[in-house]
Amino acid sequence: MPEFQLVEYKETRHDEYLKWICTKNDIIQQIHTRQLRTVLNVNADTLQNYWEIGNQILQAQTEKGWGSHVIDLLSADLEKEFGKNNGYSVRNLRTMKVFAREYPDFPVLKIPAIRQVPLAELNAVSQFVQIPLVQITWYHHISLIAKVKDLHERAFYITETAQNGWSRDVMLMQVESNLYERAGKSINNFPQTLPSPQSDLVAAVFKDPYNLGFLEMSERQNELDIEKQLTTRINDFLLEMGKGFAYVGRQYRLAVVSYKKQGESGICPSRNHAATGNRRV
């Protein structure tokens, strides 16, 4: 059998290439931006889907006089169609109903602006602030609805979370510390710009189980959990076997040639994108 040897060599990139990939076209940043926009669109569609379901439940109960049992029936049918881990539990459907009731103007929350204005101006112009609701995750929303009842205060935390890229836990910490009162209850129209890719909010959007459930990807996540449990047991078993056995890792990739750029951890010096990789020959 032929013997293979791992060979590591240093690859340099000339200045013209670095200008091409990092400055003129900025291909790496372009990919990151499109990934971010895609996952934010998925988050928006998840919230839209949940609001519409909640609104339909409200209408059915109001117009048809149906009781809470309709939620039980709907949950059973949706889980039969889409699976049990895709966000259609009885509890989540009830939360969708609350979400639709709390935000009748979805995808925005309209609240009166709190500020001193002349009476004539107030009568002439409707003084409202519109807060986009799709800037944070469902996980953020359900926590905020439970913790904050005042809509103006809730709008404040939605805006601050989106602008500062807070995770759900950081947001709740700010709620507990009463940031709304300390900041002077100031709310302005929120510009819909992309959050920082490095923010905790973006990480939460990527990992949100409700977004995965909407895409019917939760089953894949379950497979990964099972794989982790199995590989843990394999490792324990090999340790019991004693010397002569080794567990390298799950889905371990063997490479004939690997490369790493000399002196830098990334392709573009200003970013921390890994430049290490494997090539197959």
* pLDDT tens for each residue of 194-222: 556 556 776 766 666 665 665 555 444 45
SS3 128: strand
* Residue 40's pLDDT band (cuts 50, 70, 90): confident
Q: Provide the mean pLDDT of the chain.
A: 74
Q: What pLDDT is recorded for position 172?
A: 94
Q: What pLDDT is recorded for position 100?
A: 97
Domains of the chain by residue range:
7-216+251-279
Q: What pLDDT is recorded for position 62?
A: 92
Check pLDDT > 90 for residue 119: no
State mean pLDDT over 31-35: 81
CA 210 to chain centre: 9
* Residue 98's pLDDT band (cuts 50, 70, 90): very high
103, burial (CB in 10 Å: exposed 0-12, middle 13-18, buried 19+): buried
Q: What pLDDT is recorded for position 198?
A: 57
Q: What pLDDT is recorded for position 74?
A: 96
Rg (CA), the chain: 25
* Residue 133's pLDDT band (cuts 50, 70, 90): very high
Contact 88, 71 (CB under 8 A): no
SS3 32: helix
* pLDDT tens for each residue of 150-187: 999 999 999 999 888 888 899 999 999 999 998 876 66
Among candidate residues 185, 54, 189, the one with its CA nearest the CA of residue 108: 189
Among candidate residues 170, 111, 163, 124, the one with its CA nearest the CA of residue 144: 170
Tokens of residue 20, six digits: 């091409």
Among candidate residues 38, 39, 31, the one with its CA nearest the CA of residue 207: 39
Q: Which of 64-73, 193-202, 239-248, 270-279 has the highest mean pLDDT?
A: 64-73
Check pLDDT > 60 for residue 136: yes
Q: What pLDDT is recorded for position 195?
A: 58
Q: What pLDDT is recorded for position 36?
A: 82
* Residue 30's pLDDT band (cuts 50, 70, 90): confident
* Alpha-carbon gap, residue 250 to 234, rounded angstroms: 10
Overall pTM > 0.95: no
